[in-house]
Amino acid sequence: MDIAIDLGKRMSYVVMEDSGKPVKEEYVETTKDGFSAFFGDK
């Protein structure tokens, strides 16, 4: 599993890939809550 993040001041683009194929990708707010929602923080 690879994770790439294009970090921005307000919004960031996050891509999760498995064996070079995108599994999940979207823009998220550059906040703790934004990243927690994307990664499923519990």
What does the chain come to in residues? 42
pLDDT of residue 17: 94
Instruction: Sketch the domain layout of the chain as residue ranges.
Output: 2-39
Please give the pLDDT value at position 42: 52
Q: Looking at residue 7, what is its pLDDT?
A: 96
Q: How distant is the alpha carbon of residue 5 from its chain centre?
A: 6
Q: What is the pLDDT of residue 38?
A: 93
pTM of the complete model? 0.81
Please give the radius of gyration of the chain, using alpha carbons only, rounded to the nearest integer. Answer: 10
Q: Which two tokens stand for residue 3?
A: 């994770």
Which tens digit of pLDDT belongs to each residue from 9-41?
Answer: 999 999 999 998 989 999 999 999 999 999 986
